[in-house]
Structure 1
Amino acid sequence: MLPPLADLVDSARVVALPMAARFRGVDVREALLFEGPEGWAEFSPFIEYEDAEAATWLAAAIDFAWSPQPAPVRDRIGVNATVPAVPASQVAAVLARFAGCRTAKVKVAEPGQTLADDVARVRAVREAMGPEGRIRVDANGAWNVDEAEHAVHALAEYDLEYVEQPCATVPELAELRRRVKYMGIPVAADESIRKSSDPLAVARAGAADLIVIKAQPLGGVTHALQIVTAAGLPAVVSSALDTAVGLSQGAALAAALPSLEYDCGLGTASLFLDDVADRRPVDGSIPAGRVTPGAATIDRLAASDERRDWWMARLARCHEVLAAR
């Protein structure tokens, strides 16, 4: 059931969180928060997303605020550190923000950078984490198949756990997986799941060894769980650079998965200098419970009036999209 727009607007607050390092092209992360009968939820599709795609994020937020969530099977979630596309000299400082994390996801294929930059960054992560650390890389679909194959070979000596979304399309992922299978480096799909009209195409094509799922882009916890079940592949739950409120939804998803073989990308609170609540990793994990932000904290982190108006207008448009579906 879609609640009236007025019910969302009544508690809606827009926040702007300063980041410790530039990530995904932004230094400040904006989000709209609102409260429903079940608690607080987050609506924070990236700025460039059109309303049709952003409306799915709103559906996820409404589901989290208005509906009971699937029962958890674990109360804490192991999480990875996230290393933006920073110079190798800054890697140690980034990792220091992720207390106790045994796994690191390293951004690669950043526009304007080279494979040499990626190799240097991954090398620095390996040196900082030692031989027992787990390293995965994320290219966000930026390589073609030949570039991805070359990069996997260049990075293989650092013992990769997997390579996430190395290429943009499902056929490219399938071809790369065929080429590097002998190396024992798994291929993970992210954008090919969350931005696809057919999130199961990856599994049917044999294009990935595991899938990365995110609660907001997939319309909520229940729908994401259905995708995991239908895909039949191991899943890693990740964030969409969420505030602590959004991370609690991701944690609810991770907590409800019957099996969780990998650390999840839900430690991203450590990328912020301030947040609406504290969801930074402790001993490499976060709790699975809901978050209730304090009023004073929301006020301190409030976005400008101009940005609040922008988000409220977006909320209204996306609510209209959902009403028409």
Structure 2
Amino acid sequence: MTDGRLAAVLAGCTPFAIPLATTFRGIAHREGMLLTGPSGTGEFAPFLEYDDATAARWLASAIEAAWGQWPAAVRSEIPVNAIIPALNPVQAATMTTRAFIDSGSTTVKVKVAEAGQTLDDDLARVAAVRSAQRAAGIADARIRIDVNGGWNLAQAVTAIAELDNVAGGLEYVEQPCATLTELAALRKKVSTPIAADESIRTAEDPMRAVASGAADIIVVKVPPLGGVNRALEICEQAAVPVVVSGAMDSSVGLASGLALASALRELPYACGLGTGALLAADVVATPVVAREGRLSVRRIEPDPAALAEAAVRMGSAQAAWWRKRLERAWNAGANDLVGSLVTA
């Protein structure tokens, strides 16, 4: 027998599949479910490899968006960075220039340490990005790199020194090593700030990264932490600078990241919420992209025609799979986290 609250959640669900303009971390498209409730629309789109316990936090975030309330905003605009996937130098330079022309982004996050690539590939990519920034005349150009835990300690020490040199100074390095022990040791060996990402969003206790001395900065994504309110609690407890980032969300899903960033007392870095530029299609009529390097804070609702097209793109079999996944995520913990928000 289906829980009445789960039935209410399922009644407001619509599947979606949207292609990416460029393959990102081996992903060619994003898919999931949009949940509509009395507060608006939330997005449930945990990556396919995530287990049900992890997916439960993503569902809690979506239910909070659709049925709950977000904290009050203290700012109306959020500065955002552009994102450069692990492309060849020509593509990376072109994308950097385009990001500045189209959205005014002066800060760029460059993916490095991609499987099958070398440090020389990364150096060429970062050098091309820096050259493109200079050619565009960007006065306050900044480069940060995202390693996704791809280096061991020795590799990180060497790579950071070389990449910092070709970048003309790195703003920070995101998750250079996989473990907190390595990150803490690395902080003692390099002067470039170290940001923790996976060590926050995949940890049973996100505060361990800070308590263990592993991070100068934390990168916070709303869905893996169970919603805006829970993510805000973590940010306030951390007492280190925060960068709010997205998870390759649709424009609807980006709203939760904007809500968190808008509620932080301090926001010293551009946020990783400019991922709308990486989508080839969306669930809104006009994708959420930056203007003059900033995004406006607002609730974002799907366009019926765009969402209908995205639902057809997924197909009935995959839509049924997602519906079952949502049910499992509810039973794996989302019910306990936010079930009280839902009225049957």
TM-score by length of 2: 0.91
Matched, 1:314 2:318: no
Matched, 1:170 2:180: yes
Alignment RMSD: 1.3
Contact 2:94 2:132 in 1 (8 A): no
Partner residue in 2 for 1:128: 132
| Superposed structure 1 runs of 4+ greater than 3 Å apart | none
Letter in 1 for 2:158: H
State the distance in 2 between where 1:45 and 1:147 align. Answer: 30
Q: String of CA shifts for 1:39-92, please: whole Å, max 9, x gaps.
A: 000001110000011101101111111111100001111100000011111013
TM-score by length of 1: 0.96
Partner residue in 2 for 1:298: 307
Contact 1:81 1:265 in 2 (8 A): yes
State the distance in 2 between where 1:43 and 1:166 align. Answer: 28
Partner residue in 1 for 2:342: none
Q: Unaligned stretches of 5+ in structure 1?
A: none
Matched, 1:112 2:116: yes
Partner residue in 2 for 1:85: 86
State the distance in 2 between where 1:58 and 1:14 align. Answer: 14
Matched, 1:224 2:231: yes
Residue 3 of structure 1: CA displacement? Answer: 7.2
Partner residue in 2 for 1:75: 76
Q: Secondary structure at the match of 1:148?
A: helix
Partner residue in 2 for 1:284: 293
Partner residue in 2 for 1:24: 25
Q: Secondary structure at the match of 1:216?
A: helix
Contact 1:31 1:243 in 2 (8 A): no
Q: String of CA shifts for 1:236-264, please: whole Å, max 9, x gaps.
A: 00001101111011000000001000000
State the distance in 2 between where 1:22 and 1:280 align. Answer: 18
Residue 36 of structure 1: CA displacement? Answer: 1.0
Partner residue in 2 for 1:103: 107
Question: Matches of residues 38-53 of structure 1 in structure 2 within 5 Å?
Answer: 38-53=39-54
State the distance in 2 between where 1:24 and 1:4 align. Answer: 35
Question: Matches of residues 193-208 of structure 1 in structure 2 within 5 Å?
Answer: 193-208=200-215
State the distance in 1 between where 2:121 and 2:240 align. Answer: 32
Residue 324 of structure 1: CA displacement? Answer: 6.0
Contact 2:248 2:275 in 1 (8 A): yes
State the distance in 1 between where 2:93 and 2:129 align. Answer: 7
Matched, 1:142 2:150: yes
Residue 307 of structure 1: CA displacement? Answer: 1.4
Of 244, 248, 257, the match for 1:241: 248
State the distance in 2 between where 1:228 and 1:324 align. Answer: 22
Matched, 1:191 2:198: yes
Q: Unaligned stretches of 5+ in structure 2?
A: 338-344
